[in-house]
């Protein structure tokens, strides 16, 4: 009776071990579909044609799903993929690829003299951005208009890049700049002085047969001189004959 119990126990142990072996080697692999699918290959950094060939050899299909314009990657190379590398996938999976393309270059518009709003619209329209806006007093450019830009008009710039602008604040306070009246008639010279906030000082005459009579030959204040307060400016005027001036004085 004792021998039969041992035999029974031994037989049961062998049967259990055999069942576990069969389950582990045959049944479980079938249940979990062991052997189906594979790990996704890494094709980042490969050219698109080469990447598609690799995927095909693995039993997958590659398609271009997105494009990134960038100068950081070589044109035509794969920079991203889905499913990602090393993911477990079934055979015949479609792999979506993102490839790099050169950045689009656009022509920078000429903005000098344009209003700030008009310049902004032109910049946005060509696909660029405003980077930095500076402001400064400028007596030659009306208030709110562009006095300087970088890059300059006509240059090529990558789409999405920024442009630096300087906008005029107009004539600075307490600012008087002497106009250049050389070569103007006496009447026009006086108008130019008054328009700039100056007044006519003494008038001197000099005989000159090469110029039209009553043309400005010189001015006492150098053109472009900036003053905080206006002053009188003396003018030297041309005449054909000094005797005419003496006669006018006598008359």
Mean pLDDT by 10 residues, the chain (251 residues): 57 68 59 62 91 90 85 86 90 90 86 95 93 89 94 89 93 85 95 93 91 93 88 94 65 48
Q: Give a yes or no: residue 210 inside a domain.
A: yes
Is 209 part of a structural domain of the chain?
Answer: yes
The pLDDT of residue 226: 83
Tokens representing residue 135 in the block: 């402001």
What is the token pair recorded at 180?
A: 């250049």
Check residue 18 and give its pLDDT: 67
Domain that holds residue 201: 176-250
Question: How many structural domains are present in the chain?
Answer: 3
Residue 73 lies in a domain: yes
Do 131 and 184 fall within a single domain? no
Residues 180, 229 within the same domain: yes
Residue 25: predicted pLDDT: 62
In this structure, how many other beta carbons lie within 10 angstroms of the beta carbon of residue 207? 13
Q: Is residue 31 part of a domain?
A: no
Residue 9: inside a domain, yes or no? no
Same domain, 192 and 204: yes
What pLDDT sits at residue 182? 94
Same domain, 88 and 121: no
> Does residue 205 sit within a domain?
yes
- 132 and 68 housed in the same domain: no
In DSSP terms, 233 is beta-bridged to: 200
* Contact predicate 150/164, CB 8 Å: yes
The domain that contains 241 carries what CATH number? 3.30.10.20
Is the separation of the CB atoms in 216 and 181 below 8 Å?
yes
pLDDT of residue 199: 94
């Amino acid at each position: 009776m004792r021998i039969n119990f041992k035999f029974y126990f031994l037989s049961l142990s062998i049967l259990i071990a055999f069942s576990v072996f069969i389950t582990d080697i045959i049944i479980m692999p079938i249940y979990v579909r062991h052997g189906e699918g594979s790990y996704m290959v890494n094709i980042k950094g490969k050219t698109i044609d080469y990447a598609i060939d690799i995927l095909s050899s693995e039993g997958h299909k590659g398609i271009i799903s997105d494009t990134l314009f960038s100068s950081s990657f070589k044109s035509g190379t794969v920079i991203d993929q889905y499913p990602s590398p090393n993911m477990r996938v079934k055979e015949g999976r479609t792999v979506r690829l993102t490839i790099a393309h050169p950045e689009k270059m656009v022509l920078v518009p000429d903005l000098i003299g344009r209003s700030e709003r008009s310049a902004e619209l032109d910049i946005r329209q060509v696909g660029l951005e405003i980077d930095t806006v500076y402001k400064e007093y400028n007596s030659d450019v009306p208030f709110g208009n562009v006095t300087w830009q970088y890059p300059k008009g006509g240059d090529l710039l990558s789409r999405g890049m920024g442009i630096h602008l300087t906008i005029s604040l107009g004539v600075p306070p307490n600012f008087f700049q002497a106009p250049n009246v050389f070569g103007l008639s006496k009447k026009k010279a006086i108008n130019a002085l008054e328009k700039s906030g100056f007044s006519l000082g003494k008038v001197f005459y000099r005989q000159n047969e090469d110029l039209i009579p009553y043309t400005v030959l010189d001015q006492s204040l150098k053109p472009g001189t900036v003053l905080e307060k206006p002053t009188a400016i003396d003018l030297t005027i041309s005449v054909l004959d000094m005797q005419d001036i003496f006669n006018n004085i006598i008359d």
